[in-house]
């Protein structure tokens, strides 16, 4: 049991160390890129290169989030915690869509 716990901790630590930051820009009312594949534990870093506020949210089960009002130039990071498809929209601009595949 103790070996198992040690192995689990080691694997968790290794997973954390491999976590990446994946940048999604918001420019001209578009998520760039519009589709991305990441791994569990990776962080999606939302940027805002437009001169007005954006938002990003998802209602997808296990990966729900809402970054709230994102001002120009602000970076907001969201960790992807579970495997699945994450459909992201901007609450301010309903035509903005991003698809994140979490493996």
Q: Which of residues 67-96 bind Cu ion (CB under 5 A)?
A: 90, 92-93, 96
Minimum CB–partner distance for residue 21 and Cu ion (Å): 21
23 binds Cu ion (CB under 5 A): no
Decide whether 8 or 75 has the Cβ nearer to Cu ion: 75
Minimum CB–partner distance for residue 68 and Cu ion (Å): 12
- Please report, for residues 26, 59, 73, 102, the alpha-carbon distance to residue 18 in angstroms, rounded to integers and kept in the order given: 25, 26, 27, 15
Closest CA to 89 of 34, 27, 23: 34
- Please report, for residues 65, 71, 87, the alpha-carbon distance to residue 55 in angstroms, rounded to integers and kept in the order given: 11, 9, 13
Q: Which of residues 24-63 bind Cu ion (CB under 5 A)?
A: 54
Token code pair at residue 50: 């437009």
The residues binding Cu ion (CB under 5 A) are: 54, 90, 92-93, 96
């Amino acid at each position: 049991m103790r070996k198992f716990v040690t192995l689990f901790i080691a694997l968790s630590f290794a997973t954390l160390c491999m976590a990446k930051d994946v940048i999604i820009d918001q420019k001209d009312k578009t998520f760039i890129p519009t589709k991305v594949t990441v791994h569990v534990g990776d962080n999606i870093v939302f940027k805002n290169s437009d001169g007005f506020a954006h938002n990003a949210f998802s209602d997808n089960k296990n990966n729900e989030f809402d970054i709230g009002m994102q001002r120009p130039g602000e970076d907001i990071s969201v960790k992807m915690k579970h495997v699945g498809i994450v459909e992201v929209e901007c609450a301010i601009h309903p035509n903005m869509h991003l698809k994140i595949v979490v493996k």
